[in-house]
Structure 1
Amino acid sequence: MKIPMVDLKEQYHSLKEQIDAGIIAAMESSAFILGPNVQAFEQEAAAYLGVKHAIGVGSGTDALHLALLALGIGPGDEVITTPFTFVATAEAIKYVGATPVFVDINPDTFNIDLTCVEAAITDKTRAVIPVHLFGQPVDMPALKTLCDARGLNIVEDCAQSFGAHIDGKQTGSFGDLGAFSFFPSKNLGCYGDGGMVSTNSDELAALVKQYRNHGSKVQYHHSLVGYTSRLDELQAVVLRAKLPHIDSYNANRRRVDQTYKKYLAGTGIKMPHLDDVGLHVFHQYCCLHPERDKILAALRANDIACAIYYPVPLHKQEVFAQDCAGLSLPITESVMSQCFALPVYPELSEDKIQLIADTIKSAL
């Protein structure tokens, strides 16, 4: 592609010397499992997020799964979440035997609608998983007030929101636990799979650490059924190199947003909404237009990457058919029929954004 969705190579070359040296040092140390870089990254990430504990795990999906396990959520329990997200959010609910309850979204932010959350609460509801979709924070103070009043746990899905905050308080620090993904294309991404759980609870942190390591507190002694889900030492090297730059990366993503809005003004495209709740960090740049397919065809014909996030809402996915029979979520379905994503990454230049915009204008 002439213009990719994200340029990982350019970012790597800007940190190549530091990353390469760190990987070589880790290889020389041969401390590959829960080694010093993982421990250091956990401390550095916790300090950045303003939480007591950050626990490195194998992936963002694992982070959600282990968070629910630590809360003791299981069969017979309901967990309310959004249908407009990657499948991992709901997969984690099914992993523990609970039932996902999908509710509709806000048409401007695309985040879960808190009015719909309140209406969906039953005596089986144990938790809510809000997703800070595309980097836009959910109104966590309002959600926390609602959940505290009803005795519900919150697991924040922060896979797309590292560095997003509300009045300086980071996503991942509001709920009982936060779940982060370090998939390569994320705002803070490693060079493979990786994830993290954040929490201010000593008890929950201890459980997540135990679950990630075969249910063991002491080697070869196992008090519960656990998993193998540990952040890799080499991935921690990469994350430690990138973490000091995350605010700069996110500022440049916001620059990209403003540049798109400059060049796409007057096209009729509904571009990402900025509300007054929190700082958007634009993990994806998703827009709406009724002639989406015409736009995507033109972009692809000109070697410009584009995508649809997400083509099928979770309540319409075959895997959740039994949980969602007859469920209609009109706002979600309307958004998904028009939604498309444009390239966004910190290094995306103005001339490339102008080329993208010109291509779209010609198509329309």
Structure 2
Amino acid sequence: MRYINSLIITFLCSLFLVGCGDEEYIRIESLSAMGDEFYCNQKVKLWMCVESSDLWHTDYEWGCDGGKLTQPQGLDEMTWQAPNKPGTYKVWCVAKVGDKKERREHSLYVSSYFFEKFETAKPPSSFSYQSSSKSSIAQETLPDGTKNSYLEIYASSATEVERYIRRTFGDPELCTPFYSRIKLGFVKNMPEDRIAVGTKKSENTLRYRWTFDYNIENGEGYVTYLDFRWYPTICKSGLNTKAETIVLDGTPAVTGEYNIQIQFQYQNNTTLKKNTYTYYYYSEKLNQFKNGTYETVSLGVDEEHNVLVYLSGVEVLNLPVLKDKTVELGWTGEHYIKQWDIYYINGDKGNNAPVMYYDDGYASTAVLK
């Protein structure tokens, strides 16, 4: 009898252990995102790490409070597309197996309309690089000992005086107010005078160019481009001159000399002809670059269509030139941005090409200084 009782007890214990082994459970270890800072409309990869009694039959339901999810539900991964407005947003996932479920959420910071920090091992796809150039992702050691990646690029052409990197936004709703900023400078071979390459000549200048798109609210007229050009250093053979005295920084400059050029082109509402306007200014703030010296330079157009330039957070220009033309032509709509080009200079005769430093490129509909 004692033997039979022992068998019964052993059998019941076995049933208990089997029941314990089959008990459903779910535990989320993490919900992760590819990165910790994002830009508007960026697609971000998300994934879950989960422990489950039955991973094969575990189901996943994703959600978000801004932007949109672009993959099917039910998987342990998801792609989230950021909204077109900066801010902090939440995504979450509920993992479920049988009657057991657990929820985890993750905050995602959308800092600006666009940015590129040049941190990938290969040249990033967010900027395109014009042909006849050489580029690589390099590293520097910051004062605190941390490593920072940046873009090194230089012209490799026997016929062209300058090249560019380009960001095409591809957003039909992107319009002014708008700002673009990047940290830049010369790693080496900064040109101190005008150059000639093949049959072409150029000032030793850097420049930004925005290309605009058509806006039906302004009739047939629209701004086609805005161009900002400056001398990063004093030109050895002397600056170019204009007939008028150019005033900036509150005091008259040397009569006629300029080191900043603002130019924009627009299509006339009635004639459909393109007209170009060029303005000249002088400021010592922008020609203080040296090899190994890097500064952030920002170009912006505010809500009233004033053109603004900042150097490392300090305002250098605040001009009504685009505002005045907008009022004169009776335009009521905003100006729509298509792309941002950042031009850099070649070496004289194509030799000793300046090696450029670019890092932390940002574009935003909010002020960037």
TM-score by length of 1: 0.24
The structure whose residues are more often strand, as a share, is 2
Structure with bigger gyration radius: 2
- Quick one: higher RCO (CA 8 Å, sep 6+), 1 or 2? 1
TM-score by length of 2: 0.24
